[in-house]
Structure formats: structure tokens, C-alpha cells
Amino acid sequence: MLSIPKKPFHSIPAGIFLILILFLAAGCSGSAVEPKTPAARPSLSTEPQTLVRPLDEMVMVRIPAGSFRMGSTPQEIEEGLALCREHYSICNSWYYEREGPAHSTSLDGFWIDQTEVSNAQYQLCVEAGSCLEPLTCQKGEPSFSDPALADHPVVCVSWSDARAYCEWAGGRLPSEAEWEYAYRGPERLVYPWGNEFSGSKLNYCDQNCSQPHADERFDDGFSRSALVGSFTDGASWSGILNLAGNVSEWVGDWFGEYPTGETSNPIGPAEGDQKILRGGSWFGHPTYCRGAIRPAAPPETRFDYLGFRCAASEEIGN
């Protein structure tokens, strides 16, 4: 059984920076798309329950069982496309249409890491002989060997690397549905904090970014990744951090078309060619930071803006 901390903030040895968020007020500004519903943060009926994973001392947050409408409606897909066109020159409709149809999804309770896995935490798995060092990258440069970035998210990891780490740590990769529910909650928020974009609540491609689609309206202070646990004002309804930015994240599912009917604890197709990525990154523009967007890539992909976090079934806390 894993230990449950008595305090809302847990001090991590070896310099690993983790922050436990309890209640954060919703707030946002600078919307590029008129929100469909009022920007509001759903709240848990009690303080979030947390535990500390022994092997890497990651703080995990319990997400209670619940239901929500996963994916996007036709109107929301059009809004995502419109936001893309404000920031990017190539906006393919098919990329957004696969967010639909919106469908009812119910989930059992589960645990999910409060932050992305850091380089320092991943090093523990390497030292244990269960993970390979991420020293090569198909796009960009790995950060694993840079001591100054020990508390930044590990990147340039393949899907298999991410899965191996989570298994070593006693968990698994979250399902696509679990990840989206931790991000959007029962109210289906567009962003973790509400329905309007705010460049001050996440690390994304703003004026520090060297890409042509850089958003000059905001300055988040980072040209690439930020410390795990940064941007506490951007926490989700459940207290999870960096879901909308910093690095994109592998989840467990193969890419597949959404069902039209109700689902319960979906885990995606049994096989496929591409694995789902979730969440925006320091490389992405605002539309890529929406909670419904569904990028996918071959499981061997290694990018310098792609990392992961782990999840576990509810029973581990008993």
C-alpha cells in the first residue's frame, strides 16, 4: 500500500520539484474564440486525495469515478479550427474532425501523476536497469544529460520508454479518456482553468518561442520546457498541473475513431499504427492546448516536446 501524505505539500528529495495544489480560483483572459459556456472550474466535493509513489516519490492525485461527454461537438470542432487559423498557416479540418463525435463516457476512479515525469525521476528508473537513457531524438535535442534540467520533464522518450517507466514505478500510462477527464472534468472545460485561453497559465509557444507560429501576446518566461509543476494557476479542476502545456504526453491508447454511443472505461483499439498524444507543449500554439485535441504518432517517435505522466487504478491506494 502506498503512503498518503498528511500535508498538502510534499518535499521531494534529490531536488525533484513537485507542488500539490488544492483549490485554485478560475480565471482567464485574452480569448481568441467566444466560449460556448461560461468559464468556470468544477470543484471536488472534498479536498483532493493524494498519495506518494515510493520508487520515484511522485505525488499522485485521485480522480473519483464520474461521467462526462468526451470529445467535441461540430460547433466546438469549428471553434478549434478557427483558433488554429488565427495562429497557424496550415489547419486541416480532418485533424479536428477526429475529435468527434462527442459521446458519453463513464470512468471508474483512478490515480494520475500530478506532474509530468522529470529527468531526475526517470534517472532512477535508468539506475534500476528498467529504463533506457533517452539520448537521441528525431526532432530537437534531448535534455536528459543536462544537470540544469533535472527537474524539467523527460523528453525524447518513445511510447515503449514511457510504458516501461510507468510499469517500473508501479503504474501504467493513463487511458485517453482518463487523461481528458483529469483535464476537462465533468463540465468539459476547453482549458484546465476554464473556457477562455490565457497565455499566463501555461508554457506554450509564446514570444519566447522561435517558431513562426509564436504568439507574441504573452511571455511565459520559457523558450522551451519549464520545471515540472510550474504554472500553478493553470491547474485543472482536479489539481493536476501542466496538462495544457510544457510537453505533450503519451497515453496508452492506439488511435481510433470515437464511438457514437456510450462508453465505460474505454481503452481504444486493440492495435493500430499510431499512439495518441495529449496536451499542448512549449512548441504548440493555443489550439493545440485544448483538452479535446487528439494528435497521434508512431510509438517509436521521440520529440523534444514529448514526455509523459503515469496513472494507476484506484485500488493502489487501499
Model confidence pLDDT, tens digit, residues 227-239: 999 999 999 999 9
Q: What's the pLDDT at 248?
A: 97
% of the chain surpassing 90 pLDDT: 75
Amino acid at the residue 316: I
Q: Are 152 and 15 in contact (CB under 8 A)?
A: no
pLDDT at residue 179 tops 60: yes
215 Cα distance to chain centroid? 21
- What pLDDT does 11 receive? 37
- List the one residue out of 114, 110, 118 whose CA is nearest residue 24: 114
Instruction: Quote the pLDDT of residue 29.
Output: 32
pLDDT at 75 over 60: yes
Read off the pLDDT of residues 143-152 as tens digits, 9 standing for 90 and up. Answer: 999 999 999 9
* Average pLDDT of the segment spanning 79-106: 94
The CATH code belonging to domain 49-317 is: 3.90.1580.10
Would you state the pLDDT for residue 221?
77
pLDDT of residue 89: 81
Residues 242, 231: Cα–Cα separation, whole Å: 7
Burial of residue 86 (number of CB atoms within 10 Å: 0-12, 13-18, 19+): middle
Q: Write out the H or E segment, with its range, that includes residue 63.
A: strand 59-63
State the residue for C-alpha cell 496508452. Answer: 252
Q: Which residues contact 184 (CB under 8 A, 6 or more apart)?
A: 68, 190, 192, 236, 237, 291, 292
pLDDT attached to residue 210: 82
Give the phi and the psi of residue 160 in degrees, each rounded to 5. Answer: -65, -35
Query: Residue 315 corresponds to which cell in the numbers above?
Result: 485500488
Beta bridge partners of 217: none
d(CA 280, CA 262): 27
Q: Which residue has the higher pLDDT, 5 or 144?
A: 144
- Look up residue 247 and give its three cell numbers: 510537453
How high is the pLDDT of residue 43?
Answer: 52
- By mean pLDDT, which of 45-59, 127-141, 244-258 is the weakest? 45-59
Model pLDDT, residue 127: 98
Residue with the bigger pLDDT between 100 and 315: it is: 100
Query: What does the domain layout of the chain look like in residue ranges?
Result: 49-317
What pLDDT does residue 124 have?
98
pLDDT attached to residue 44: 55
Which of 43-52, 123-132, 191-200 has the weakest average pLDDT? 43-52
Q: What is the pLDDT of residue 213?
A: 81
Segment 14-28 shows an average pLDDT of 34
Instruction: Identify the pLDDT of residue 66.
Output: 97
Average pLDDT over residues 208-232: 86
Whole-angstrom Cα distance, residue 183 to residue 242? Answer: 10
Q: Report the 10 Å Cβ neighbour count for 29.
A: 13
Looking at residue 17, its pLDDT comes to 35
> What mean pLDDT comes out for the span 269-286?
94
Q: Please compute the mean of the pLDDT values over residues 207-231 and round it to a whole number.
A: 85
Sole residue written with cell 500510462:
173
Q: Has residue 284 got a pLDDT over 80? A: yes
- Between vectors from CA 185 to CA 72 and to CA 30, what angle results, nearest 5°? 70
Q: Please identify which residue in the block is written with the cell numbers 500500500.
A: 1
Element (DSSP H or E) covering residue 85: helix 74-87
Is a pLDDT exceeding 50 seen at residue 121? yes
Burial 190-206 (b: 16+ CB within 10 A, else e): bbbbbbbbbbbbbbbbb
Could you list the beta-strand ranges (E) of 140-196.
none
pLDDT recorded at residue 220? 79
Q: What does the mean pLDDT of the chain come to?
A: 87
DSSP type of residue 139: B
